[in-house]
Amino acid sequence: MKKRFTFILLIAFALLANMSLVSADMHDWWAEAAAPYAGETIRGVSESTPPSNYVADVLAAQFTELTGINVEFETTSWDQMYSKAINDMEANTGIYDFVYIEQDIIYSYLAQDYLVNLTQFAADNADLAYEHYDESAFTSFADYFKNADGDLFGVPMEAFVKVYLYRKDLFEDADNMAAFEAEYGYALAPAENFDQYRDNAAFFTAYGESMDMDLWGTTVQASTGHPASTYEFLESIGPSFGLYNWGINLDAGSAQSANGGSLDGDTAVEALSYWLSMLEYAPPEATSSTWDEVASTFAAGRAAQGWVYGENAAWIATDDSRSAVTGNVGVRLPVTAPGVIEAAEMGEGYIGYYDGGAFGIPHSSRNKEATLLWLQFIGQPSVQAEWAAVGARITHTATFDDPLIAEQDAKVDGYYTLLEEQGPLFAGAPPFPFHAQVREIIDPFIQRAILGELSPADALSQAAAAVDEELSRLGYGM
Amino acid sequence: MRNPRTGWLLLSPTLIILLLFGFAPFLYVLFVGFNQWNVFSADDGLVFNGLDNFRRLVFDADFLHSVGLTTRFAIFAIGSEVVLGFVLAQMLTRNFPGKSLFRIIHTLPLMVAPIAVGAIWRLLVIPGFGPAPFFLDRWFDFTYQIGSYPDQALWTAVIMDVWHWTPFVTLTMLAGLSAIPREPVEQAKVDGANRLQVFWYVTLPFLQPVLLTTVFIRIMDAIRTVDEVWMLAGGGPGTRFTGIYIWRVVFPRTDYGYGSSISLITLYLTIVLCWLLFIAISGRRKGEVE
């Protein structure tokens, strides 16, 4: 017994010694590789999101401590982030050394040759290549940031899907279950189709009213002063009805049904009509809500169910200081129309938005080498799990198996498992090199439909015509 | 005899800065305004397109709508600020208890950055969370949702602007009122003029230069309003003013050519508006004197 104990002790000691040696080696490598750049400051810009804030608050400080390279990381609003990054890259001013590249804008950036080919750049600077950074360790989400040759242009820093969240405490309440069954003739449960979603929404809105509670049936990301409403319709609601690629046929260069598009087609009109009808069951802030406010609404316990970006799932489910519904958050796939899941499984469609982004180095950067070190630092396996637990984002395949994530998965009702197993049913934005330009054209029509100034059919018909006009102006039209 | 060269030498740094940062960008915008230039188009270079951008904006319903909204915003905001500012300035020419404290509190909004003003008002009026919709609903059963009702968004923007800028008008009016000599006022009273006549025939003519300058500054500010309103309502229906429309065209849409042409037309409209106002006010009074 004593021998066995001594043996175990020796093994443990050896492991600890080995770990500390490896750790010391890693420290040495970062310090040595960064020595020529110590004291330099690299600057970046991103949207203020849970994963970005973790970068700003935690990872940047760790990197500076290891390398002596300072990281000034600006987390700002979504609109400002784009403006600042694009202006800097277009004018070649070199203010930013790394920029956030949202999945949907990568095609525009690549078309303009704004970004450094990271695979090539690392190969050209072998002395800066960190051995534990491996491009093949990323999930397939990284493919969105690669060119045809498989070279990477952005280090994925967040990836998540927009899921269906619901309040377990409300859905599993015995009185609610009985009342719902008595009224609708079937059991109260998280929605699996749009009719059920509507019944749930109507039931809980009426319940909130009868109990004089601030509770409504659903979230709706329907801001009339922000593109978030267009995004919810085109990237979440539309696909779940079978409207893909924003209804734009890139080959035909048109969004109009008459010319091969589908933005004004029956499926699109049905999807928009359904989504707008949900406003009846949404809290009053819905028409002022972007993705942030939707998450806040759900976290405040003001909605029984809703479409919520996955990056918020972890804090809503676990952070008592910010959320009133911790421990009561259920996670499911968003509801879909018949045939949509099957189409997604066959690779002929998708059920919702696989969102996320990466950090890339603009050609205009004056500190490319130091920034390459930084991007490898945030792309290495050892920082992924904690980051994923805080920001509900996973970019490394191995992170799914980390014990920390397994523990967090149970608290978030299997969100991470859903992301791993059913993530392929979702898809990123279509490969448009004119993403923001066309979305800006569609925005006013969706906003006027929300306000009731246009019917869904009129809004989409006018939007499709305006999109075609803009495509033509941009040189991508018929 | 003074050497004019010395004067020009002393002026040259200012002139160079003005040329570099004032005139050169204007010339650049003028040049871009006559080109088609969108960096995300298939052909991302500048293509001279003559007056196409200007022709396009005449038929651009969104632009015309934004001009209409901006005009309504400017009329109501500036009108209210001038009236309120004058009344408050008159009040401040007299002594009353707590005058110093009132003056400080009244001037405080001026010191707040427009973006912060927008943020404060957004927190006040955001549906579901803000105190204004809550109490309006609770006390008056009034549904106040700036995201759902464009008119409410516009009026909220007007009230926010009045809250922010009335102190500026008050201060300029106060300076103007303080500079009016007492003799003409006393003379008018001796001649039997009532308070309205004193105001119309004595005070107002003396205040005219201050009033004109204040109104010009406020018109220019109102037409280029972006940050406050952006924070308040994101430039949605009801608050998509010309400045915000230009921002949207130039930045998210990256349509630099068209955005430049709209900027030029907006500048032109501002100048014309100020000129018409100048003629209307100074011309009328000149006529009266004659």
Q: How confident is the model at residue B289 (pLDDT cuts 50, 70, 90)?
A: very low
Q: What is the pTM for the complete model shown?
A: 0.89
Chain B residues within 8 A of A437 when measuring between CB atoms:
38, 40, 252-255
Q: CA B22 → CA A12, A153, B28, B29, B271, distances in Å?
A: 71, 38, 10, 11, 16
Interatomic CA distance for residues A367 and A131, integer angstroms: 21
Q: Which of B43, B145, B253 sits opposite A287 (nearest CB)?
A: B145
Residue A25, pLDDT score: 62
- Check if B59 contacts A (Cβ < 8 Å): no
Chain B residues within 8 A of A302 when measuring between CB atoms:
128
**Could you tell me which residues of chain A have a Cβ less than 8 Å from any Cβ in chain B?**
79, 82-83, 86-87, 90, 108, 111-112, 214, 222-227, 283-289, 297, 302, 433-434, 436-437, 439-441, 444, 447-448, 450-451, 453, 473-476
Q: How confident is the model at residue A21 (pLDDT cuts 50, 70, 90)?
A: very low
Establish how many alpha carbons lie within 13 A of residue A452's alpha carbon, considering only the half-sphere containing its beta carbon. Answer: 8
Residue A15, pLDDT score: 46
Q: Under an 8 A CB cutoff, do A475 and B42 touch? A: yes
- Chain A contacts in chain B segment 153-172 (CB below 8 A): 153
Interatomic CA distance for residues A113 and B177, integer angstroms: 61
CA–CA min distance A224, chain B (Å): 5
What residues pair up with A166 in beta bridges, in sequence order?
A: A305, A330
Residue B285, pLDDT score: 57
Q: CA B197 → CA B62, B176, B191, B192, distances in Å?
A: 45, 18, 11, 9
B173-183 per-position pLDDT tens digit: 999 999 999 99
Percent of chain B with pLDDT over 70: 97
A375-434 per-position pLDDT tens digit: 999 999 999 999 999 888 999 999 999 999 999 999 999 999 999 999 999 999 999 999
Interatomic CA distance for residues A100 and A398, integer angstroms: 23
Residue B290, pLDDT score: 42
**Coil, strand or helix: which one is A364?**
coil
Say yes or no to pLDDT of A272 above 60: yes
Q: Under an 8 A CB cutoff, do B43 and A285 touch? A: no
| Closest C-alpha to A160, from A403, A384, A383, A418 | A418
Angle between helices B61-92 and B242-250 (to 10 degrees): 130
Q: Under an 8 A CB cutoff, do B41 and A473 touch? A: yes
Are B227 and B118 a contacting pair, CB within 8 Å?
yes
Say yes or no to pLDDT of A80 above 90: no
Interatomic CA distance for residues A395 and A397, integer angstroms: 7
- Check if B243 contacts A (Cβ < 8 Å): no
Burial class of B180 by CB neighbour count within 10 A (0 to 12, 13 to 18, 19+) = middle
Q: CA A298 → CA A286, A305, A345, distances in Å?
A: 11, 8, 30
A46-78 per-position pLDDT tens digit: 988 889 999 999 999 999 999 999 999 998 888
- Kindly report which listed range (A336-340, A371-375, B14-18, B235-239) carries the lowest average pLDDT score: B235-239
Q: Under an 8 A CB cutoff, do A297 and B128 touch? A: yes
**Coil, strand or helix: which one is A302?**
coil
Percent of chain A with pLDDT over 90: 87
- Check if B119 contacts A (Cβ < 8 Å): no
Q: How confident is the model at residue A142 (pLDDT cuts 50, 70, 90)?
A: very high
CA–CA min distance B239, chain A (Å): 9
Q: What is the mean pLDDT of residues B54-71?
A: 95
The reply to whether ipTM tops 0.95 is no
Q: Which of A1-15, A185-199, B207-221 has the highest mean pLDDT?
A: A185-199
B92-132 per-position pLDDT tens digit: 999 999 999 999 999 999 999 999 999 999 999 998 889 99
